[in-house]
Chains A and B, each alone.
Chain A
Amino acid sequence: MEHVLIKTHQLTKRYGSVSVVKGLNMEVKSGEIFGFLGPNGAGKTTTIKMLTGLLDPSEGEAYICGYDISRQPTQAKAMMAYVPDQPKLYGKLSAREFLHLVAALYRVPKNVMKERGEQLLAMFGLQNRGDELLEGYSHGMRQKVVLASALIHQPKVILLDEPTVGLDPASARLLKDVLQEMARQGVAVFVSTHILEIAERMCHRVAILKEGQLIAQGSPEELRQKAGHGGESLEDIFLELTGGNENAELIRSLEEG
Chain B
Amino acid sequence: MKLLLPPPLTDPPTEQTFRQDFMLLVKNQLRVSWNKMRHRPVGALIGMVVVLFGLIAIVGSLGYFAYGALQTMPPQTVQGFLSLLFMVGLGGQIFFGITAAFAALYMSDDLELLFMAPVPIKVVFAVKSLSVIGSNLLTALLFAFLPGVFYGLLFQAGASYYFLVLLVGLGLWAIGTAVAELINLLVMRIVPPHRSKEAIGFIGAIAGILIAILFQIPNMLINREEEFNLGAWLSGQEQFLSVMDFFPWGWGAQALVAGISGSFLEGLGWSILILFMGVFLFMLAFNLVERGFRRGFISLSQGEGGRRRKKPATIVSGETDRQKKNTYLVFKEEAVGSASPWLGMWAVAKKDLLAMKRDTREWFGYMVPLIIMLFFVGQHLFLNVQSSNNTLIAVLIMYTIMFSGNMALQSFGREGESDWLLNSVPLAGWPVVWGKLVAAILPTLVLMEALLVGTALAIGVSLTLIAALAFGAVLLSLGSSAIGLFYSINNCRYNPDTPQQRISPGASLIMYIVNLFFILFLALGLTYLFLPDELVVILREIPPVSFEGGFLSGIIYGLYLLSRPLLWADSLRILLGIIVTAGVWSIMFFGFMAATVRQSRKGFRVEIVTGKKTRKTAK
A79 within 8 A of B: yes
Instruction: Give Cα distance in the complex from A97 to B10, angstroms.
Output: 26
The contact of A245 among B24, B39, B320, B612, by CB within 8 Å, is: B320
The contact of B35 among A88, A92, A151, A181, by CB within 8 Å, is: A92
Instruction: Give Cα distance in the complex from A155 to B9, angstroms.
Output: 6
B304 within 8 A of A: yes
Instruction: Give Cα distance in the complex from A177 to B3, angstroms.
Output: 8
Q: Which residues of A contact B15 (CB under 8 A)?
A: 74
A199 within 8 A of B: no
B interface footprint on A132-151 (CB within 8 Å = 1, 0 otherwise)? 01011000000000000001
Q: Which residues of A contact B298 (CB under 8 A)?
A: 54-56
B618 within 8 A of A: no
Q: If A90-B32, A135-B610, A154-B7 touch, does A18 touch B309 (CB 8 Å cutoff)?
A: yes
Q: If A54-B301, A174-B1, A177-B1 touch, does A116 touch B6 (CB 8 Å cutoff)?
A: yes
Cβ of B125 to closest chain A Cβ, rounded Å? 14
Cβ of B24 to closest chain A Cβ, rounded Å? 5
B113 A88 Cβ-Cβ under 8 A: yes
A244 B9 Cβ-Cβ under 8 A: no
In residues 89-118 of chain A, which contact B (Cβ within 8 Å)?
Answer: 89-94, 97, 101-102, 104-107, 116
B interface footprint on A142-175 (CB within 8 Å = 1, 0 otherwise)? 0000000001011110000000000000000010
A121 within 8 A of B: no
B305 within 8 A of A: yes
Instruction: Give Cα distance in the complex from A245 to B42, angstroms.
Output: 62
B321 A246 Cβ-Cβ under 8 A: yes
B47 within 8 A of A: no
The contact of A185 among B5, B16, B31, by CB within 8 Å, is: B5
Q: Which residues of A contact B24 (CB under 8 A)?
A: 104-105
B302 within 8 A of A: yes
Cβ of A74 to closest chain B Cβ, rounded Å? 5
Instruction: Give Cα distance in the complex from A109 to B245, angstroms.
Output: 56
The contact of A91 among B309, B311, B611, by CB within 8 Å, is: B611
Q: If A78-B13, A245-B320, A248-B317 touch, does A54 touch B1 (CB 8 Å cutoff)?
A: no
Cβ of A244 to closest chain B Cβ, rounded Å? 4
Instruction: Give Cα distance in the complex from A55 to B115, angstroms.
Output: 10
Instruction: Give Cα distance in the complex from A15 to B306, angstroms.
Output: 9
A154 B8 Cβ-Cβ under 8 A: yes
B156 within 8 A of A: no
B32 A75 Cβ-Cβ under 8 A: no
The contact of A154 among B6, B304, B610, by CB within 8 Å, is: B6
The contact of A182 among B5, B110, B116, B320, by CB within 8 Å, is: B5
In this complex, which of B12, B35, B115, B610 has the most chain A Cβ atoms within 10 angstroms of its Cβ? B12
A93 B32 Cβ-Cβ under 8 A: yes
Q: Which residues of B contact A123 (CB under 8 A)?
A: 3
Q: If A55-B298, A82-B116 touch, does A186 touch B8 (CB 8 Å cutoff)?
A: yes
The contact of A106 among B117, B309, B321, by CB within 8 Å, is: B117
Instruction: Give Cα distance in the complex from A182 to B6, angstroms.
Output: 9
A79 B7 Cβ-Cβ under 8 A: no
Closest partner residue, chain A, to B297 (CB atom): A54
Instruction: Give Cα distance in the complex from A185 to B110, angstroms.
Output: 30
Cβ of B294 to closest chain A Cβ, rounded Å? 8
Q: Which residues of A contact B31 (CB under 8 A)?
A: 93, 97
B616 within 8 A of A: no
Q: Which residues of B contact A101 (CB under 8 A)?
A: 28
In this complex, which of A75, A102, A245, A248 has the most chain B Cβ atoms within 10 angstroms of its Cβ? A245
B36 A92 Cβ-Cβ under 8 A: yes
Q: Which residues of A contact B225 (CB under 8 A)?
A: none
Instruction: Give Cα distance in the complex from A256 to B15, angstroms.
Output: 45
Cβ of B56 to closest chain A Cβ, rounded Å? 28
Q: Which residues of A contact B1 (CB under 8 A)?
A: 174, 177
Q: Which residues of A contact B612 (CB under 8 A)?
A: 135
B109 A182 Cβ-Cβ under 8 A: no
B3 A178 Cβ-Cβ under 8 A: yes
B320 A244 Cβ-Cβ under 8 A: yes
In residues 223-238 of chain B, which contact A (Cβ within 8 Å)?
Answer: none
The contact of B5 among A16, A82, A102, A178, by CB within 8 Å, is: A178
Cβ of B345 to closest chain A Cβ, rounded Å? 33
A54 B8 Cβ-Cβ under 8 A: no
Cβ of B110 to closest chain A Cβ, rounded Å? 6
Q: Which residues of B contact A181 (CB under 8 A)?
A: 3, 5
B112 A135 Cβ-Cβ under 8 A: no
B19 within 8 A of A: no
B115 A54 Cβ-Cβ under 8 A: yes
Q: Which residues of B contact A (CB under 8 A)?
A: 1, 3, 5-10, 12-16, 24, 28, 31-33, 35-36, 39, 109-110, 112-120, 295, 298, 301-302, 304-305, 308-309, 311, 315, 317-318, 320-321, 610-613
Q: Which residues of A contact B (CB under 8 A)?
A: 15-18, 49, 52-56, 67, 73-75, 77-79, 82, 84, 88-94, 97, 101-102, 104-107, 116, 123, 133, 135-136, 151, 153-156, 174, 177-178, 181-182, 185-187, 244-246, 248
18 A–B contact pairs at CB < 8 A?
Answer: A17-B308, A52-B116, A78-B12, A79-B9, A79-B12, A88-B110, A90-B32, A91-B611, A92-B32, A92-B36, A93-B31, A105-B119, A107-B118, A133-B35, A178-B3, A182-B5, A182-B8, A246-B320
**Closest 5 A/B residue pairs (Cβ):** A78-B118, A78-B12, A105-B117, A92-B35, A107-B13
